[in-house]
Structure 1
């Protein structure tokens, strides 16, 4: 069965969908006209026996015309053409015995026109009415003044109801279109087959002519039977999918918004926005905007030529517009002009701002070609300043991060091509990159590499510490361990972009150059040693943790050049695992278990190596209360290790068998810096463990004033945002300032966070 329209496309309600709807409606109208004509011709044969032969010829002509209309369906077209040609041979011999068959044809086609087509028209009317209501609700919602909250709420509720009704009617309409398309084929084939079968049975004069198509008729009958079964099955599947989509949460008011710079269509982002005209009336018009070819364009209809708003996003910056009376406004500004736009919601507003910023950052790749001339450097600098839009304080933080990170071994050159002075970084890999390689990394997706500017972006202290724990030399020992065995030549700074892109994908996506995992790296889950069990029992009883060994420095970490995971396990014997782990052999650990152990020991290169070999960042050790690598890093009070795991996709709310997540453990152990980190990363401060204790209760019981303060401020900030409604601000400035101060203290002066309040009382 051919699916005319896709359910996902109808939810998007794009000009493509509208254009497809217009095409389908025209097709159904044409089909209705031809079928009604065919039914009338069939009726004429029954009522006018004396002119039967002539009417039969007209009917045959109608079949031929229908076959020409269904030229896209080869089986239907071929069958109609074959049968009509055979019928024309025996038309003079046909008589009253055809009446039964003709009635069958008439009833089937008449039923299709009167029932299915009418049902299609009824659903179309409901769709058009809901579309008009949605358009009106969108207009009222956009026009609702910011200051009149009751009008805003009324407009928002009206828009929500209109959108729900529209999406429901749109899904029903698409379902009806696809069902009508399927039923059209089966009904027409059934009518024609009944006609041919009756002709073969009752008319000896036509036997010879019909015998010539007997095999084809039988084959087509079998195909029709199978087609009916397939159609019923597909209809059931389609109805189930239709029902499943209708049960989804459609209360949100945003279209699917994914920034995709490498989309095959060349469109990185698209959706509806209101645009304020630059004329004296300052009128607002709703247009379909898209980001493509480093330009911001819009169009009114799908077939219209796009109108370019911003010709070169490299020369633009984007910012919110709070001075305007209308909500959700943002402004794209270039040196020559500005464009004021309005989204339908705050989420859409932030999505478009992020998309424009990402497009601007991607455009920085073009600056490298002119960087070597003073004129080119000036131009790139101006583009960077306009696109970054950072405050003086953030720029200072970026310069400090650049200085600290570039001091690490190997970081003074790009990790992938060796260009000196890289000022971009991949924060989940812990490497520095030049502007060209950073663009390639960005195109890999954030699940492979998260790119950030060392000079334009603000850097949290824990991110700087993480970058200083790894570095290009350590990471290349992992991802280029077998480079001598491979014939591929590593690109240099002047290599073409295509060579760099091929190298980076082979290195980080396909992982062609890492050491292969030995078969011994498939051991069973880790067993808890007696020392670890005793330590855990002590922790459970006292609520505190014995002092940890000093963290191994870079000199004591295993050298990764040419080492497999089994070699790393043996090296760990000689260095970091001297205490309770000295009797445990890590040579047989699989990557998940190795990540688990190295997270507790804060051995960042080993953690990176485990992830490179496919370790699950949320690996669960079932023999140690379902603990995870992130919980192990919490036990070691390692801010940088936790940040490393979070940047690589660790679940900040994954709990152990006691129902305790990382935030619970950080609260129990009194690690204030980690509590601050987890709250910033979205940890649930209301989650309860198996003893029905949430982190706030645990912090109060442990009399930890700093942690209680952080948890209560986070809770209060969320409650304030909920009171402000769905369109509240993203965070109170005081709340942000407090968390920024705690982050700085946790990274630079952690001893100040070790105080407790002995006189704290449980409220």
Structure 2
């Protein structure tokens, strides 16, 4: 080993030693600068490589898309697919190469700079310090006067001690220098050798990969000559077809000139013909080679405030209605999917020959040049809708599944914690419910849409009709494209097509009404759906006695739900709200304890045993309680008093308390008001009773059906007050997300936050304070602020999943004492 600095020379502290030290320090400083530069260049190279990989990956995706577009050409499709696979492998090899560069160059050299060079700098600082001290001691010793013995002795002692310290530190410093000079070679060579080996591996892998691809490339090279010949033949065929069409057009022009009347009768002829020549050209052709079933000029009314009319070139192609201003302009889509729209005449406007195409999201007013042209366009749109349903139904479902795969991966890949279900996950859970594998209204297999407030699955045609009914009747959501919150997914699993059809089609066979089948005309399906959900023509209205038995049965069922868990150990009871004299109320947490509804409403669960007939309701056995439920509260039993009048609102009221979604759906179908007020029970609403019953899903069902989250009872308490008093963390989270007013105070001037603080419920206090802070942030940012802070949204999402899927984590309940100051 070559010694850069001599140990013997360092003890002399000679000028030669000082010069050597200065040279070494300058060399080390330059080394540090070069290594820092090399590491930065390596980082830049890695970043550029990652950008290259990203661009290359997009290029490969473009090749794959081109291959998918060329499915009819087997040679192009198979060749491009193979090329894309090989290029993707090269991208993977590049990724490995850059990872190896990061480990061998960046990490190793950074470690050498941070560790070894840092030790050298620390040793240099000590050496410089002790050198200064030694120099000062020598000067002081030299300046000590001869006649002052004590100063001489003091200077001598300091000099002796300083020299000993200097010898110790200078030897350590020289050792650090020699070790550094030796180690620098091994570290630098080791790092670079590893980097070069990674390149060797990269090029070997690329060579092996393309060696396997070489036979295919040679085969394609041999086929190119034949491809050139085939292209020339196709060109000749096209030119011949072009010539034929030109001759046909010229012959037609001659015929039209010969058939023209004289000038005197031209106006009358033009009036009686009514642009028949144009009508012929605009004939609907679904089998057109260019995919355009209909095209021509129409006037379009703008959607701006001036309602101006502009002439545009319209066409029906690929199941869409589009228009262009100029040939080079990209077509503007008026209707993305004709299966979701209707077309009708417009006689209430000043202009003639107008018609309107209406979709679930917008409408478009257009004007033809004549009545025949208007009829032709209306017929073309109607035929396109029918053709799309007949020929493209399966294709639409495949596109839904393809889109759900790509978008779902963005939402779930790489996420360590559970997020709202999307794509196939939500689809599988909802379709697992009996009856959900076919459309609820027409029986089309494999539905991909759902009505979340009704709890049913729909095909794409019926979903478009449901959208046109309005959100007060049906709220449509995609099972594959949209995200699904846990409580909403459980709502779907609690109901299902079988349960809803028992309610809304109870009298269909009695009325001898035919249910639509897949492939039926759209107008027939639309008429049936409106009769079913808007007019509720097939709902069986209960008699007064049947309604009374249903309400009594639900009140008894609530008792069975509570008594079915009496064998479990008790927990601190929640508070009992203020009551009228002589009334006792059971504030049932029903074994959920801070959890919204715990594990009772499992995702895989089929609709509950609550039947829709009074006889079955009276005979139904107690609802089983899962073993995973937390202990229930030993609350006072809720007493049922004979009401003055039985109504569907009262059925909804007790069904919400009993957590029976089928009976709640039945009550709404019978005309119950979702915000019905029980004037005989402190003006409570069904939503408040759902809180008392402890079911998060029952609350979600009422909110999806326009339940008022801020409606208060006689005590001035809304659903958020009651959920806070009972310690139902999941329900508190749900109400805050649905816009509950957390600043509302009851007659005792208690807000939900005050109640949560008094009960020492840390989870609910956290949620309320976060919601308040988020509201203040949005107000401070102004009317154009975003939906809220990301941290706030993440925390609320975590609470939602915890309350629905792991309620035991929220078992930190403290009893709220309403008498507590």
Give 1 or 2 for the bigger CA radius of gyration. Answer: 2
- TM-score norm. by structure 2 comes to 0.45
- TM-score norm. by structure 1 comes to 0.49
